Amino acid sequence: MKSNDVILQAVTKIVVFIILTLAVYLFFSGHNNPGGGFIGGLVLAAAVVLLILAFDVNTMQRALPFDFKVVGALGGFIVIATGFGSLLFDVPFLTQTMGEFDVPFFGEMEFSTVTIFEVGVALAVVGVVVTIILSISKDV
Amino acid sequence: MLTINMAIAIPFIIAALIPFVYKRFTRVHIGWFVLFVPAVLFIALARYIPAMAKGNTYLRSFDWIPSYNINFSTYLDGLSMILGLLITGVGTLVILYSIYYLSTNESLHRFYLYLLLFMGSMLGVVFSDNMMVLYVFWELTSISSFLLIAFWFHRKKSREGAQKSLLITVSGGFGMLIGFIMLYVMTGTFSVREVIATISTYTDHQLFLPAMLLILLGAFTKSAQFPFHIWLPDAMEAPTPVSAYLHSATMVKAGIYLVARFTPVFGGDATWFWLVSGVGLFTMFWGSFTAVRQVDLKALLAYSTVSQLGLIMSLFGIGSAAYYYDFSTSSIIYTQATFAALFHLINHSTFKGALFMIVGILDFETGTRDLRRLGGLMAIMPVSFTIALIGSFSMAGLPPFNGFLSKEMFFEAALNIGQLDIFSLSTWGVIFPIIAWVGSVFTFVYCLIIVFQTFFGERHLERLERPPKEASIGMLTAPAILALLVVGIFFFPNLIGRYLLTPAMASVYPQLALEGNLGQTISAWHGFNTELMMTIGVIIVGALLYLFRNYWKGVYKLFPASWSLDALYNYLLEQLEGSAYSITNFYMTGSLRNYLVFIYLFFIALAGGTFLYTGALSIDLSGDAPIGIYEGLIVLVMIIAAISILFAKSRLTAIILNGVLGYSISVVFVLLRAPDLALTQIGVETMTTVLFLLCFNFLPDWKKEDAPKRSKALNMGIAVSVGVLFVLIALSVQNGDLFNSVSSYFENAYELAGGKNIVNTIIGDFRAFDTMLEVTVLLIAGIGVFSLAKLKTKKGDQNLEE
- Residue A32 to residue B772, Cβ atoms within 8 A: no
B616 close to B736: Cβ distance less than 8 angstroms: yes
Q: Report yes or no on B143 lying in a domain.
A: no
Q: What is the mean pLDDT of residues A26-54?
A: 83
Residue of B nearest to A136 (CA): B789
Intra-chain end-to-end CA distance of chain B, in Å = 63
> DSSP string of chain A?
-----HHHHHHHHHHHHHHHHHHHHHHHHTTTSS--HHHHHHHHHHHHHHHHHHS-HHHHHHHS---HHHHHHHHHHHHHHHHHHHHHTTS-TT---EEEEEETTTEEEEEEHHHHHHHHHHHHHHHHHHHHHHHHHTT-
Percent of chain B residues past pLDDT 90, beyond the cut: 29
- The C-alpha atoms of residue B295 and residue B555 are separated, in whole angstroms, by 16
Return the pLDDT at B755.
67
How far does B684 lie from chain A, in Å, by closest CA?
7
* Cβ neighbours around B141 below 10 Å, total: 25
pLDDT digits (tens, 9 = 90+) for B189-203: 888 888 888 888 887
Based on the structure, what is the number of domains in chain B?
1
- The C-alpha atoms of residue B97 and residue B102 are separated, in whole angstroms, by 9
Chain B interface includes A116 (CB < 8 A): no
Intra-chain end-to-end CA distance of chain A, in Å = 11
Return the pLDDT at B515.
66
**Chain A residues closer than 8 Å to B698 by CB:** 139
Bigger pLDDT: B5 vs B44: B44
Instruction: Of A13-22, A97-106, B452-461, give the range with the top mean pLDDT.
Output: A13-22
Return the pLDDT at B94.
93
Reported pTM: 0.83
Which of A42, A92, A120 is nearest residue B66 as measured by Cβ atoms? Answer: A92
User: Which DSSP letter does residue B76 get?
Assistant: E
Backbone angles phi, psi at B191, to 5 degrees: -80, 125
Which of A38, A76, A138 is nearest residue B779 as measured by Cβ atoms? Answer: A76
**Chain B residues closer than 8 Å to A32 by CB:** 755-757
Q: Report yes or no on B256 lying in a domain.
A: no
Which of A32, A124, A136 is nearest residue B789 as measured by Cβ atoms? Answer: A136
Bigger pLDDT: B541 vs B426: B541
How far does A10 lie from chain B, in Å, by closest CA?
20
B676 close to A36: Cβ distance less than 8 angstroms: yes
Residue B175's contacts (CB-CB under 8 Å, 6 or more residues apart) are: B214, B215, B217, B218, B221
Instruction: Of B109-123, B374-388, B536-550, B583-597, give the range with the top mean pLDDT.
Output: B109-123
Sign of CA dihedral B625, B631, B637, B642: negative
Return the pLDDT at B800.
45
Q: Report yes or no on B280 lying in a domain.
A: yes
The one-letter amino acid code at B204 reads D
Instruction: Of B211-215, B316-320, B497-501, give the range with the top mean pLDDT.
Output: B211-215
**Chain A residues closer than 8 Å to B65 by CB:** 92-93
Question: Using CB atoms within 10 A of its CB, is residue A9 exposed (0-12), middle (13-18) or buried (19+)?
Answer: middle
Residue of A nearest to B698 (CA): A140
pLDDT digits (tens, 9 = 90+) for B132-183: 999 999 999 999 999 999 998 888 889 999 999 999 999 999 999 999 999 9
What is the radius of gyration, based on Cα positions, of chain B?
Answer: 32
Q: What is the mean pLDDT of residues B594-617?
A: 86
Question: Using CB atoms within 10 A of its CB, is residue B211 exposed (0-12), middle (13-18) or buried (19+)?
Answer: buried
How far does A104 lie from chain B, in Å, by closest CA?
22
- Residue A39 to residue B683, Cβ atoms within 8 A: yes
pLDDT at B327 over 60: no
Q: Report yes or no on B233 lying in a domain.
A: no
Query: Which positions 741-770 of B are in contact with A (Cβ < 8 Å)?
Result: 753-757, 759-761, 763-765, 768-769
Return the pLDDT at B517.
62
Query: Which positions 697-736 of B are in contact with A (Cβ < 8 Å)?
Result: 697-698
Q: Report yes or no on B494 lying in a domain.
A: yes
Residue B122's contacts (CB-CB under 8 Å, 6 or more residues apart) are: B83, B87, B137, B141, B250, B251, B254
- Residue B757 to residue A34, Cβ atoms within 8 A: yes
Q: What is the mean pLDDT of residues B398-412?
A: 87
Bigger pLDDT: B194 vs B616: B194
Bigger pLDDT: B144 vs B747: B144
Of B120, B212, B221, B114, the residue nearest B167 (C-alpha):
B221
Q: Report yes or no on B478 lying in a domain.
A: yes
Q: What is the mean pLDDT of residues B364-371?
A: 85
Mean pLDDT of chain B: 85
- Residue A92 to residue B64, Cβ atoms within 8 A: yes
Query: Which positions 42-61 of A are in contact with B (Cβ < 8 Å)?
Result: 42-43, 45-46, 49, 53
| Domain range for B494 | 267-547
pLDDT at A1 over 60: no
Interface A-B, measured as beta-carbon pairs within 8 A, has a size of 155
B684 close to B676: Cβ distance less than 8 angstroms: no
pLDDT band, very low/low/confident/very high, at B763 (cuts 50, 70, 90): confident
Q: What is the mean pLDDT of residues B438-456?
A: 89
pLDDT digits (tens, 9 = 90+) for B690-724: 888 877 777 777 776 677 788 888 888 999 999 99
Q: What is the mean pLDDT of residues B577-582?
A: 92
- Please, how many CA atoms are within 13 Å of residue B65, restricted to the half-sphere of its CB? 11
pLDDT at B621 over 80: no
pLDDT band, very low/low/confident/very high, at B751 (cuts 50, 70, 90): low
**Chain A residues closer than 8 Å to B785 by CB:** 131-132, 135-136
Largest CA distance in chain B: 104
Residue B496's contacts (CB-CB under 8 Å, 6 or more residues apart) are: B343, B346, B489
Q: Report yes or no on B488 lying in a domain.
A: yes
- Residue A35 to residue B764, Cβ atoms within 8 A: no
Which of A1, A52, A111, A135 would best serve as a mutation to test chain B binding (most B beta carbons within 10 A)?
A135
Q: Report yes or no on B516 lying in a domain.
A: yes
Task: Please name the helix (run of DSSP H) or strand (run of DSSP E) that holds residue B312, with its range, or none.
Answer: helix B297-319
Return the pLDDT at B135.
94
- The C-alpha atoms of residue B663 and residue A113 are separated, in whole angstroms, by 33
Bigger pLDDT: B330 vs B142: B142
- The C-alpha atoms of residue B504 and residue B319 are separated, in whole angstroms, by 13
- Residue A37 to residue B763, Cβ atoms within 8 A: yes
B447 close to B297: Cβ distance less than 8 angstroms: no
